Amino acid sequence: MPAWRAGVRPMADPADPPHRTEDEMQDQTALPAPSMQSLREGYSALVLGASGAIGQAFVTLLQSDPRCASVTALSRSSQPGFDFNDPASLERLALELELELELARQGKFQLVIDATGALTLNGRSPEKRLDELDAQALIEAMSVNAIGPALLLKQLLSRLASGERVIWAKLSARVGSIEDNRKGGWYGYRASKAALNMLLQTAAIEIARRRPLAVVAALLAGTVRSGLSRPFVGELAQDPLESAARLLRVLDALQPTGRAQFVDHAGQSIPW
């Protein structure tokens, strides 16, 4: 099965400040790559937004897991690819992916990780004040961070296995927590991530009816070193492989609850 790459950049969370020294981060990345023991031997994984810093890290780690039989990596400019501004492209993606999987005689996925999202769009920085709000910018933030991922879930859910433990994980952000909002600002990004979280929670309830062993998770990666985070934190951030490895370990330990779970890379629950 080919692994497709390119395109949509995943979102680090600049609101989650780094707190480890460089030596501590090196110690973390020296840990053995995680193995998804909770999924069946020979599981298949799908990574969406696979060309960005965290997306690439997930692909690398999953390819190194001896329990993982295949990793499919998709993004905006892969073949097949997708564009959140073109909902029809998501339908084409689902059809083309299904055909490719059939030709490769590959079954359904046990693990799907959606690492898509964006903080800045068309060169616009996050709004700090009400008078900076722009209708089109708000629409675009919702499209990329909430509507697009929800439509991806709609189109690809049928490719998620049933009758066994499966995981659908989506990168979210701490600033999407309504209860945790103490600083204000970042109107469009906060609102779009809060909307994403509600969509995931609602979908998780429906998914559990047919897949009671499914885990649905909204993940906080922390601030990782990437082109997106550099304008906000420079190089003072986690290595993407470290963050992705932590998140895989967190996912491996989560139990199905019939609801979505909002957790950070240390496994701590975040208030919705």
Instruction: Give the global pTM.
Output: 0.85
Confidence grade of residue 1 (pLDDT, cut at 50, 70, 90): very low
Please write the tens of the pLDDT for every residue from 224-240: 876 655 555 556 678 99
3-state secondary structure at position 73: strand
Average pLDDT over residues 141-148: 97
CA-nearest of 61, 62, 72, 66 to 42 is: 66
CA atoms within 13 A on the CB side of 148: 27
Q: Which helix (H) or strand (E) holds 264?
A: strand 260-264
Q: How many CB atoms lie within 10 A of CB 156?
A: 22
Residue 222 confidence (pLDDT)? 86
Q: How many CB atoms lie within 10 A of CB 258?
A: 12
Higher pLDDT, 257 or 13: 257
Residue 202 confidence (pLDDT)? 98
Question: Any idea what the Cα angle at residue 237 is, between residues 118 and 252, rounded to 5°?
Answer: 75
What residues contact residue 25 under an 8 Å CB cut-off, 6+ apart?
A: 238, 239, 242
CA distance 184 to 33: 37
CA distance 32 to 17: 25
Please write the tens of the pLDDT for every residue from 77-135: 888 889 998 999 999 999 999 998 888 888 999 999 999 999 988 888 899 999 999 99
CA-nearest of 123, 55, 116, 113 to 83 is: 116
Scan for tokens 């193995």, then name that residue: 35
Residue 121 confidence (pLDDT)? 87
**Residue 101 amino acid letter:** L
3-state secondary structure at position 18: coil
